Amino acid sequence: MAKLVSAEEVAKHNSRNDCWVIIHENVYDLTNFLPKHPGGINVILKQAGKDATAAFDPVHPISIIQQYLPPEMCLGRIDPATVTKTAEADSEQNRRRQVMEKRPNLDEMLNLFDFEAVASQILTKEAWAYYSSGADDEVTMRENHEAFRRIWLKPRVLIDVSKIDISTTILGHYSSFPLYITATALGKLGHPEGEVVLTRAAYTHKVIQMIPTLASCSLDEMVNARGEGQVQFYQLYANPDRNITERVVRAAEAKGCKALFITVDAPHLGRREKDMRLKYVEAPPDLQEEKDIRRDQGAAKAMNSFIDCRLKWADLEWFRSITSMPLVLKGIQTVEDAVMAAKLGMEGIVLSNHGGRQLDFARSAIEILPEVVQALKIEGLYDKIEIYIDGGIRRGTDIFKAIALGAKAVGIGRPMLYAMSAYGQPGVERALQLLKDELELTMALAGVTSIRECGPQYLDIRDLYNHGSVPTDYLTKSVYDKPKPMKGKL
Among residues 72, 88, 107, 289, which is the contact residue for a copy of itself, using CB under 8 A?
Answer: 107
**Rounded to the nearest whole angstrom, what is the least distance from the CB of residue 75 to a copy of itself in the complex?**
34
Is 155 one of the binding residues for a copy of itself (CB under 8 A)?
yes
Among residues 7, 48, 139, 403, which is the contact residue for a copy of itself, using CB under 8 A?
Answer: 139
Check if the beta carbon of residue 249 is closer than 8 Å to that of residue 322: yes
Rule CB under 8 A: which of 86-105 touch a copy of itself?
Answer: 98-99, 102-105
Three-state SS for 87? helix
1 vs 486, beta carbon nearer a copy of itself: 486
60 vs 401, beta carbon nearer a copy of itself: 401
Active site residue 137: no
Is 381 one of the binding residues for a copy of itself (CB under 8 A)?
no
178 vs 298, beta carbon nearer a copy of itself: 298
How far from 448 is each of 176, 390, 405, 457, CA to CA, in Å?
A: 17, 23, 14, 11
**Rounded to the nearest whole angstrom, what is the least distance from the CB of residue 5 to a copy of itself in the complex?**
35
Rule CB under 8 A: which of 300-359 touch a copy of itself?
Answer: 309-313, 315-316, 329, 331-334, 336-337, 353, 358-359
Torsion of CA 327, 332, 336, 339, to 10 degrees: 30
CB-based contacts of 124: which residues, under 8 Å, 6+ apart?
92, 96, 189
Is 113 one of the binding residues for a copy of itself (CB under 8 A)?
yes
Helix (H) or strand (E) holding 400: helix 396-404
56 vs 400, beta carbon nearer a copy of itself: 400
- The one catalytic residue in 234, 237, 388, 423 is 237
Three-state SS for 202? helix
- Say how far apart CA 138 and CA 479 lie, in whole Å: 17
Burial class (CB in 10 A: 0-12, 13-18, 19+), 229: exposed
- Say how far apart CA 33 and CA 41 lie, in whole Å: 9
Among residues 3, 156, 242, 247, which is the contact residue for a copy of itself, using CB under 8 A?
Answer: 156
CB-based contacts of 344: which residues, under 8 Å, 6+ apart?
313, 316
- The one catalytic residue in 57, 114, 137, 265 is 265
- Say how far apart CA 20 and CA 77 lie, in whole Å: 12
Is 445 one of the binding residues for a copy of itself (CB under 8 A)?
yes
**Rounded to the nearest whole angstrom, what is the least distance from the CB of residue 237 to a copy of itself in the complex?**
13
Among residues 16, 142, 188, 205, which is the contact residue for a copy of itself, using CB under 8 A?
Answer: 142
Check if the beta carbon of residue 227 is closer than 8 Å to that of residue 203: yes
Active site residue 354: yes
Among residues 31, 111, 124, 204, which is the contact residue for a copy of itself, using CB under 8 A?
Answer: 111
Rule CB under 8 A: which of 360-379 touch a copy of itself?
Answer: 360-363
**Rounded to the nearest whole angstrom, what is the least distance from the CB of residue 272 to a copy of itself in the complex?**
10
Active site residue 13: no
Among residues 290, 317, 379, 463, which is the contact residue for a copy of itself, using CB under 8 A?
Answer: 463
**Rounded to the nearest whole angstrom, what is the least distance from the CB of residue 113 to a copy of itself in the complex?**
4
- The one catalytic residue in 354, 388, 398, 423 is 354
60 vs 191, beta carbon nearer a copy of itself: 191
How far from 427 is each of 34, 195, 221, 351, 418, CA to CA, in Å?
A: 39, 13, 21, 27, 9
Among residues 146, 195, 221, 386, which is the contact residue for a copy of itself, using CB under 8 A?
Answer: 146
Is 132 one of the binding residues for a copy of itself (CB under 8 A)?
yes
Q: In 74-176, where does DSSP find H-type helix?
A: 87-102, 112-122, 125-132, 139-148
Task: Give the residues across from 209 on adjacent strands.
Answer: 181, 232
**Rounded to the nearest whole angstrom, what is the least distance from the CB of residue 51 to a copy of itself in the complex?**
27
**Rounded to the nearest whole angstrom, what is the least distance from the CB of residue 245 to a copy of itself in the complex?**
15
151 vs 186, beta carbon nearer a copy of itself: 151
Q: Are strands 26-29 and 74-78 parallel, antiparallel or unpaired?
A: antiparallel
CB-based contacts of 110: which residues, under 8 Å, 6+ apart?
434
**Rounded to the nearest whole angstrom, what is the least distance from the CB of residue 312 to a copy of itself in the complex?**
5
Rule CB under 8 A: which of 386-405 touch a copy of itself?
Answer: 394-395, 397
- Say how far apart CA 444 and CA 248 lie, in whole Å: 43
- Say how far apart CA 128 and CA 121 lie, in whole Å: 9
Rule CB under 8 A: which of 259-288 touch a copy of itself?
Answer: 264-265, 267-268, 270-271, 273-274, 276-277, 280, 282
Catalytic center residues: 237, 265, 354
